[in-house]
Amino acid sequence: MTMETANAEKTVPGTAGASAVESESPVVDPTANENYFNRELSHLQFNYRVLQQALDPSHPLINRLIFCCIFSSNMDEFFEIRVAGLRQQMKYGRESVGPDGILPTQLLTDISQVAHQYIEEQYDILNNVLIPEMEKENIRFVRRREWTPAQAEWVRTYFEEEILPVVNPIGLDPSHPFPRLVNKSLNFIVELDGKDAFGRETGMAIVPAPKSLPRLVRLPDEVCDGGDNLVFLSSMIHAHADELFPGMEIKGCYQFRLTRNADLVLEDDLEDLASALRGELLSRRFGDGVRLEVADNCPDELIQFLLREFGLSERDLYQVHGPVNLTRLMAVGSLVDRPDLLYPGFSPAVPKKIRNNEDIFGVIRQKPILLHHPYESFTPVIDFLRQAAKDPNVLAIRQTLYRTGTGSEIVEALMDAARRGKEVTAVIELRARFDEAENLELASRLQEAGVVVVYGVVGFKTHAKMIMVVRREDGRLKRYVHLGTGNYHAGNARLYTDYSLLSCDDALGDDVNKLFQQLTGMGKVLKIKKLFHAPFTLHKRLIEMIDREASYGDKGHIIFKINALTEPEVMLALYRASQAGVRVDLIIRGICCLRPGVPGLSENIHVRSIIGRFLEHTRVYYFGNNGKPEIYGSSADGMVRNLINRVEVAFPVDDKSLAERMISDLNAYLTDNCQSWELQTDGSYVQNHPAEGEERFVAQQALLEGLINK
């Protein structure tokens, strides 16, 4: 398929082609609040689409449970960051609104209503769908009332040997005030009767469950009648709470969990970013409370006591029928040996031209390399650095690092290069959310190996994904670059969809070199030839290219594949393009504040979200450009933070065959009729299904089969 024909051949089930706006179409104000969805409510809808995967029988059963857990993890972060931010706005009188015009006060109420509905449905799915289906597969969560004498005795021994020595119960009295509980930790509030050894009648105690303890434990086969039998830590603590308070009567024991504000606030005029960040990380565990989860059998007087202690209201209370920390149920996949209930494993493809090739630079000189992870291996990117580290002709390596993961082979290659005497510079973004501590440790390791470590630019997160290798060839210096849409994290590269481009294009190399100069040195903005880079040119160029497409009317075509769209000016430009008749296809995994299908405004805009086995993470911008298509990979989403407040890069894919391949990938996503969800004008999402007589088409599966079989 050529670039010229790809657009014509693409079809989207259930939608019509673009048409010019008729003169009698209503006049619509594109800036009106009703033409935008709220960012936070759209974020919640994405989380809900993830939860719905737990009901999809096309996913293996354990993976369906994992989707249920991922929903919990996503909701945790939503409360830690987004809800916490709204509460902070209200606390300090700094309320702000987005294009939708909803004030934080009303928004928190709306969020509470929606979140309560979704979480109630989550526990219904867990208790009435997933657990019964797992029991049919002989995977059982054994409740206390179901323990056989042999199991009860095993649990008692486990409690005394593994739990009791590390649990520290805290009685509440004037000399023992309410403890400062760690963010998202599992805790129990216990009602007591009687006097302790000192004659105190406290009536109440808190039992924090150490994070070191597993939340699920597999019962040994010898005390079970076959199958996989799992018991909750909470069940074991409930069963033996009396051993924590000898001589006292346990009137009740109820689990609860507090979610705290986990966002970090750093001033822009810091003298030492690393030191300031270390201090802030200590406070993250004990930020203000934003949500209280409690077992639904907990008495109201205890719930009210907890709400008062944490300064929360009924709006922030979530009473749940089951474990309060569902994220830890992900352990099921490793506790039971049932590969038949998990996605089948696969080996990512490695392009033939670089398979077992010890001269990756020679391959890149012949033709740039485009990799589509996870269908294609991340190993060539690691090999690119490994070969550069060992190559005597390589003089310097520069790289940005946002997330890398523990034991990163990327990091080992950089350290090896530095030890071999090469000039190695790493621009590390310390403020990569929830990876800050790991990045501080990473920076120390690299510095010890002789790598020059730079922390980017204060006030602008460095989110661009770039490597530059400077090599001496034929008496002159040649630059080789890697540009990506994802992170330098080998683990994520097996779970996230992303593109990697390896090239030795002189203009790209010169641009990347200038960007590193801006990040590590001082000076004015340098002129860039091919790349678009935030915070300087990317936002402006995106809008210019959207407007250029609008000038082609109904012959225009725009495809954005991104993770979120919230930036007002970009949305306004897309509205203008739609009004001009341009076909606009937006493949947006998560948040979308743009309202499609509004007559006279956005009837030519179609928005879909792909949710499946892999996390869709590629950022791609496609412009039809009047028959001369242009396509870009990017590290940036369509958000204010990416386009205005971060260091980001969008890179052109000029090679015709590579561009055609990316367009073909986009077409696969636009044709998916199983794992795609269409955003409606009213803000709801409707999952696509094959029409009568239409074959099932799952984009991720098609891409997986197409690449790993090469």
Q: Is 43 annotated as a binding residue?
A: no
Strand ranges (DSSP E) for 219-301? 228-232, 249-260, 289-295
Asked whether residue 526 is assigned to any structural domain, the reply reads no
Same domain flag for 536 and 514: no
Same domain flag for 462 and 594: no
Asked whether residue 309 is assigned to any structural domain, the reply reads yes
Spatial distance between the Cα atoms of 533 and 24, rounded to a whole number of angstroms: 40
Spatial distance between the Cα atoms of 93 and 95, rounded to a whole number of angstroms: 6
| pLDDT score at 200 | 56
Q: What is the CATH number of the domain that holds 592?
A: 3.30.870.10
Asked whether residue 28 is assigned to any structural domain, the reply reads no
| pLDDT score at 177 | 79
Q: Is 496 annotated as a binding residue?
A: yes
20 confidence band (pLDDT: 50, 70, 90)? very low
Same domain flag for 367 and 515: yes
Q: What is the CATH number of the domain that holds 126?
A: 3.30.1840.10
Q: How far is CA 119 from CA 122, 222, 232, 259, 315, in A?
A: 5, 37, 20, 15, 14
The mean per-residue pLDDT over the stretch 468-475 comes to 95
Domain that holds residue 176: 104-269+289-340
Spatial distance between the Cα atoms of 516 and 439, rounded to a whole number of angstroms: 19
Tens-place pLDDT, residues 616-665? 999 999 999 999 999 999 999 999 999 999 999 999 999 999 999 999 99
Overall number of domains in the chain:
3
DSSP per-residue codes, 303-370? HHHHHHHHT--GGGEEEESS-S-GGGGGGHHHHS--GGGSPPP---B--GGGTT-S-HHHHHHHS-EE
| pLDDT score at 553 | 96
Asked whether residue 13 is assigned to any structural domain, the reply reads no
Same domain flag for 601 and 540: yes
Same domain flag for 425 and 479: yes
Same domain flag for 552 and 513: no
Asked whether residue 434 is assigned to any structural domain, the reply reads yes
pLDDT over 90 (residue 435): no
Residues that are catalytic: 463
Same domain flag for 485 and 388: yes
CA-nearest of 45, 228, 50, 214 to 125 is 50
Q: Is 696 annotated as a binding residue?
A: no
| pLDDT score at 709 | 54
Tens-place pLDDT, residues 349-407? 999 889 878 899 999 999 999 999 999 999 999 999 999 999 999 999 999 998 787 67
Same domain flag for 631 and 567: yes
| Residues 353/363, Cβ–Cβ less than 8 Å | yes
Query: Considering all CA atoms of the chain, what is the largest pairwise distance in Å, rounded to the nearest integer?
Result: 87
Q: Is 321 annotated as a binding residue?
A: no
Spatial distance between the Cα atoms of 665 and 700, rounded to a whole number of angstroms: 10
Asked whether residue 310 is assigned to any structural domain, the reply reads yes
| pLDDT score at 89 | 87
**Domain termination residue (choose one: 489, 520, 551):** 520
| pLDDT score at 287 | 74
Phi, psi of 193, deg, nearest 5: -135, 140
| pLDDT score at 526 | 80
Q: Is 64 annotated as a binding residue?
A: no
Tens-place pLDDT, residues 503-547? 999 999 999 999 999 988 877 778 899 999 999 999 999 999 999
- Provide the percentage of residues in the chain whose pLDDT is more than 90: 75
| pLDDT score at 203 | 80
Work out whether the CA dihedral 133, 138, 140, 144 comes out positive or negative: positive
Asked whether residue 159 is assigned to any structural domain, the reply reads yes
**Domain termination residue (choose one: 485, 520, 555):** 520
Asked whether residue 635 is assigned to any structural domain, the reply reads yes
The mean per-residue pLDDT over the stretch 661-681 comes to 97
| pLDDT score at 10 | 36
Phi, psi of 661, deg, nearest 5: -65, -40
334 contacts: CB under 8 Å, gap ≥ 6: none
| pLDDT score at 292 | 97
Tens-place pLDDT, residues 567-612? 999 999 999 999 999 999 999 999 999 999 999 999 999 999 999 9
**Domain termination residue (choose one: 461, 493, 520):** 520
| Residues 225/163, Cβ–Cβ less than 8 Å | no
Q: Is 403 annotated as a binding residue?
A: yes
| pLDDT score at 92 | 78
| pLDDT score at 455 | 83
Tens-place pLDDT, residues 411-420? 999 999 999 9
Same domain flag for 303 and 359: no
| pLDDT score at 3 | 36
Same domain flag for 465 and 559: no
Average pLDDT over the chain reads 89
pLDDT over 60 (residue 464): yes
| pLDDT score at 100 | 93
Same domain flag for 544 and 436: no
Quote the DSSP letter at residue 673: S
Same domain flag for 565 and 684: yes
